[in-house]
Each structure stands twice: as structure tokens, then as C-alpha cells.
């Protein structure tokens, strides 16, 4: 699966969190832990599984958090 070769980047200010796009459960848990509601955290993690390199997830819940794929 191609998602195993891409990286989900969660940028919070000057800190980046990197993880495999294919690790949906871990990604959802991390996103929930930084403040996203479970439903949105699961949605973002699922998006990352199918997103392509260079994609950015647009969200308004946490304006200081930027989510994209490398």
C-alpha cells in the first residue's frame, strides 16, 4: 500500500510530529491527544491513508495545527 511510504506531518508552531500515513490508529490517537475530537481525529487519519504526496488537510478546529503529507 502506497500510504506506508508516505509521511503524515502534524505541525504545531515550531514542532513537527512525523508518522507513517498507514498507521491510522496511532495517528488518530495522537490527533485526539493534541485536541481534536475523536470523530475528526479518525477522519484526518483516514484521509492520510489515501492522500497523495503534497496534500494538505484543511481544518478550523485547531488553527495553529497544519497537517500535510510528504
Rounding to the nearest 10 degrees, give the CA dihedral for residues 41, 47, 58, 15.
60
- Which residues lie below 8 Å from residue 26, measured CB to CB, with a gap of 6+? 19
Domain spans of the chain?
2-69
Q: What is the pLDDT of residues 10-69, one digit of tens each?
A: 999 999 999 999 999 999 999 999 999 999 999 999 999 999 999 999 999 999 999 999
Amino acid at each position: 500500500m502506497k500510504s506506508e511510504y508516505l509521511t503524515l506531518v502534524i505541525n504545531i508552531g515550531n514542532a513537527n510530529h512525523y508518522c507513517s500515513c498507514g498507521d491510522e490508529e496511532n495517528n488518530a490517537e495522537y490527533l485526539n491527544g493534541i485536541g481534536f475530537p475523536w470523530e475528526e481525529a479518525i477522519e484526518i487519519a483516514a484521509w492520510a491513508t489515501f492522500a497523495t504526496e503534497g496534500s494538505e488537510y484543511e481544518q478550523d478546529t485547531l488553527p495553529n495545527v497544519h497537517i500535510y503529507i510528504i
